[in-house]
Structure 1
């Protein structure tokens, strides 16, 4: 994540929390959670408000979470009632730890050139047959919008990235509209990716 993106979230943490914590992502949860073993360990990577980690915890999963924004991590710690680390994807070093990794609207702040390394780190952190969910804004550009860096992907550019990781397989991808009020014209690319034995 670029430093100015982190600065944006630190400076707007409470506003971001208020605008996202009640967004209904049940349609995404229903795609992801059936693929995760009961009471399995889920990492919410780039957790923002902690909304999704909180839901997973309520469903009986063991949850870990981190965010690059110190201010958001503090708010998510309060929301989740457990420690949320302040760290970046680049600092992820877990090995064979998680049954699921949730990257909802978080990897999109990683520079495209760094995504192969990050996917390798995520794959290493997953247990065999573990599943990760990722989402990106739909497109093919790297851009700055409202003080934040974005990497947009399509099915094709994401598939190309995943193909560089021999132990990752994309099992499903789909497009969806933004669930926030007045944002329905924004299209998201969603994908489920599984770690396989090679």
Structure 2
């Protein structure tokens, strides 16, 4: 039986070059806020790095960046951009322990099936050193579904998403909402989450 995210990986497999090369409005303000919380040389995981554009910015700011993506094809695109190895890791396989100071998860965890999200959030919390934090973004909604490209999205409400983070043991959970867009060109309500691994 196909998993909800299999179609998503198939999309990125078949469209990696086009997706990585697309015109993209960078999350400049949120990236700057993320970087501003970190000491020089901090260890950062770019979780679901896509084409590697945010990894490149993080590297340019002198951070110790580990980039990963669940799509081997997108990982190769990112490698070409940033000039270093990109790990191919699915969210459900994350097993790093206390390795990172912060995790940047821009428009990536929104592909995790709802039934698996709390476990994945627990896994990434354990990947952080105590005191570390995550910054993640999700497309808001009321129930899981697929976009017109066949990609799976968990489409959470802010309340449901907060509950998932709480279940996974996170602290200082803050969720901001903003209007924007995405690859599909559709108007999108975004949920931007920051949360702390208090230890």
Please classify the TM superposition score into its range, dividing by the shorter chain length.
over 0.9
Mapping of residues 120-135 of structure 1, within 5 Å: 120-135=122-137
More divergent stretch after superposition (61-70 vs 169-178): 169-178
- How far apart, in 2, do the equivalents of 1:45 and 1:83 lie? 14
Match status 1:76 vs 2:82 = no
Match status 1:90 vs 2:92 = yes
2:76 partner SS: helix
Shift in Å at residue 27 of structure 1? Answer: 1.3
Distance 1:160 1:10, change over 3 A: same
Alignment counterpart, residue 55 of structure 2, candidates 53, 56, 63: 53
Instruction: Note if contact 1:36-1:131 (Cα within 8 Å) is conserved in structure 2.
Output: no
Structure 1 length-normalised TM: 0.92
Alignment counterpart, residue 33 of structure 2, candidates 28, 31, 34: 31
Shift in Å at residue 170 of structure 1? Answer: 3.6
Mapping of residues 80-119 of structure 1, within 5 Å: 80-119=82-121
1:72-108 per-position Cα deviation (integer Å, ceiling 9, x unaligned)? 0001011111000112011111000000111111111
Instruction: Note if contact 2:140-2:190 (Cα within 8 Å) is conserved in structure 1.
Output: yes
Match status 1:155 vs 2:158 = yes
Q: Aligned pairs, how many?
A: 195
2:21 partner SS: helix
| Alignment root-mean-square deviation, CA | 1.7
1:121-173 per-position Cα deviation (integer Å, ceiling 9, x unaligned)? 0010001110101111011211011211110112211111111133x114422
Instruction: Note if contact 1:111-1:151 (Cα within 8 Å) is conserved in structure 2.
Output: yes
1:29-70 per-position Cα deviation (integer Å, ceiling 9, x unaligned)? 123222222210110111101011110000010100111111
Instruction: Note if contact 1:56-1:63 (Cα within 8 Å) is conserved in structure 2.
Output: yes
